[in-house]
């Protein structure tokens, strides 16, 4: 009895390891959005743009090679465990001992070297392909700056500054219009990751990294900061809004408009400009020129507040102005201890920023 139990335990362990590996492979790469139900759970296994597709092809090859090795090794192990398990009456005898087979040793030295060599060649070709891509004329250039915990997005050539939503044109059949990104950080290391568009690239203080994306299907693509950067790392979401070239041009024209100094009711405007909002936020066309927090010029065109913490609705906006710490504990915008009237007036003014 004791003998059989021992064999079964080993088997159980092998099966557990196998199941765990399978679970890791299947669940790897999923990103859960901070809110919303089925909206935008995104996977590296369903890429919808370059270079994510190219990366997936390479990783499928690597995964397939590893899966074959896993099955061969795991299969031999299970076969050995069952076929040569300890049986009653075996106590006295030693199994036959084998060593020094040149063929076997050559095989298990040369084969892995060949496999590793093939994987190195394929991987470095993909990496070089992606890194050496040069921006074609007409490519959109944007700078993304990581902050604790939001994304500043600038289009220097277009004169646009926005936050947390990167708008890019879709490439169509006959016109390639990729977007080239410069990645910087204002504080600590972050990582820009939109799984269906491209791999991760880090945003490092005092260093500029580059990446590009070339989506073809309009829609909103969700991503995350993928490098732990402090308390609210999990609520540092990025949305990439891919638009048809015409829609993108329209968005650019809208964003280039400054805000009129006479926007909103005079009382509401006064409440905003009399408080310290202006020390941290810019509204182009007005005296608000703070650089510390997100640019609010076209705030109402954004889908979320607090880098994906909550949806941008009038109610949430009011709650956010009253106490951002409710939605995003530790975020750098403090509770300003505003009166109810001030909260309502500031929220009303913000709602005119379209
Ligand atoms: Cu930024 Cu994690």
Q: Nearest 5°: phi and psi at 185?
A: -130, 145
Distance CA 347, CA 13 (A): 59
First to last CA, the chain: 77
pLDDT value, residue 337: 86
pLDDT digits (tens, 9 = 90+) for 310-320: 888 999 888 99
Please indicate whether residue 190, judged by its CB atom, sits closer than 6 Å to ligand 1.
yes
How many angstroms is it from 148 CA to the middle of ligand 1? 7
Give me 229's structure tokens: 């950067």
All structural domains of the chain? 9-88+100-131 (1.10.287.90), 140-256 (2.60.40.420), 266-350 (2.60.40.420)
C-alpha of 96 from chain center: 55
Rounded (5°) CA angle 201-122-105: 120
3-state secondary structure of 165: strand
Q: How far is CA 336 from CA 142, 264, 340, in A?
A: 33, 22, 12
In this predicted structure, what is the pLDDT of residue 13?
78
Which pLDDT score, from 0 to 100, does residue 288 have? Answer: 85
Beta bridge partners of 215: 49
Q: What is the pLDDT of residue 85?
A: 86
Q: How many CB atoms lie under 10 A from the CB of residue 93?
A: 7
What is the pLDDT, as a whole number, of residue 48? 86
Determine the distance separating the centroid of ligand 1 and the alpha carbon of 202, expressed in angstroms: 10
Given the CA of residue 203, which atom of ligand 1 is nearest to it?
A: 1
CA of 227 to the centre of ligand 1 (A): 5
Please state the atom number of ligand 1 nearest to the C-alpha of residue 149.
1
Which ligand 1 atom lies nearest to the CA of residue 148?
1
Backbone angles phi, psi at 169, to 5 degrees: -80, 150
Summarize the chain as % helix, strand, coil (round to 5). Answer: 40, 20, 40
DSSP code, position 236? -
- Tens place of pLDDT per residue across the chain (354 aa): 444 445 567 667 767 877 777 676 666 544 444 333 345 567 888 888 889 999 999 999 999 999 999 999 999 999 999 998 888 888 777 877 878 888 889 998 999 999 999 999 999 999 999 999 988 888 999 999 999 999 999 999 999 999 999 999 998 877 888 999 999 999 999 999 999 999 999 999 999 999 999 999 999 999 999 999 999 999 999 999 999 999 999 999 999 988 877 777 888 888 888 888 888 999 888 888 888 999 999 999 998 988 888 888 999 888 998 898 888 888 898 888 888 888 898 988 888 888
pTM, 2 dp: 0.79
């Amino acid at each position: 009895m004791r003998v059989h139990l021992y064999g079964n335990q080993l088997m159980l362990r092998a099966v557990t390891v196998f199941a765990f590996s399978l679970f890791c492979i299947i669940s790897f790469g999923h990103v859960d959005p901070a809110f919303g139900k089925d909206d935008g759970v995104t996977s590296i296994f369903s890429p919808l743009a370059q270079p994510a597709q190219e990366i997936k092809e390479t990783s499928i090859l690597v995964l397939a090679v590893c899966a074959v090795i896993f099955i061969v090794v795991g299969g031999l192990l299970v076969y050995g465990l069952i076929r040569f398990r300890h049986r009653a009456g075996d106590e006295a005898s030693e199994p036959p001992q084998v060593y020094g087979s040149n063929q076997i040793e050559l095989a298990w030295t040369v084969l892995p070297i060949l496999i590793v060599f093939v994987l190195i060649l394929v991987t470095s070709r993909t990496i070089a392909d992606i890194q050496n891509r040069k921006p074609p004329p007409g490519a959109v250039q944007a700078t993304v700056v990581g902050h604790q915990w939001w994304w500043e997005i600038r289009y220097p050539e277009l004169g646009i500054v926005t936050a947390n939503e990167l708008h890019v044109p879709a490439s169509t059949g006959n016109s390639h219009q990729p977007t080239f990104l410069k990645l910087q950080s204002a504080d600590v290391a972050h990582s820009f990751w939109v799984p269906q568009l491209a791999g991760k690239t880090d945003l490092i203080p005092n260093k500029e990294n580059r990446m590009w994306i070339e989506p073809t299907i309009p829609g909103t693509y969700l991503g995350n900061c993928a490098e732990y950067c402090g308390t609210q790392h999990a609520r540092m979401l990025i949305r990439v809004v891919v638009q048809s070239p015409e829609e993108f041009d329209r968005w650019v024209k809208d964003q280039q408009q400054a805000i009129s100094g006479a926007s909103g009711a005079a009382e509401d405007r006064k409440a905003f400009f009399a408080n310290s909002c202006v020390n941290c936020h810019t509204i182009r066309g007005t005296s608000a020129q703070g650089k510390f927090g997100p640019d609010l010029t076209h705030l109402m065109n954004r889908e979320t507040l607090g880098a994906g913490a909550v949806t941008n609705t009038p109610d949430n906006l009011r709650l956010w102005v009253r106490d951002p710490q409710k939605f995003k504990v530790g975020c750098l915008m403090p509770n300003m201890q505003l009166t109810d009237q001030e909260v309502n007036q500031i929220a009303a003014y913000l709602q005119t920023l379209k």
